Amino acid sequence: MVQTVEKVSNIILNSRKIAVLTGAGISVNAGIPDFRGEHGIYTLGKYDERVFDIDYFLRDPLLFYNFAREFYPLSEKAEPTFTHKFLAKLEESHEVFIVTQNIDLLHERAKSKNIIYLHGSISESYCLNCGMLYSYEEMEKLIFDNPVPRCKKCGGLIKPDVVFYGEPVKDFDKASEVVSKSDLFLALGTSLEVYPANFLVKYAKGYKVLVSKSKTSFDNHFDISVHEDLDKFFMEVSKHLGVMS
Active site residues: 119
Q: Which helix (H) or strand (E) holds 72?
A: helix 62-77
Of 23, 182, 204, 192, the C-alpha closest to 99 is 23
Residues 220/170/74/60 CA torsion (nearest 10 deg): -110
d(CA 156, CA 127): 6
Q: Which helix (H) or strand (E) holds 178?
A: helix 172-180
From the CB of residue 55, how many other CB atoms can be counted at a distance below 10 Å? 11
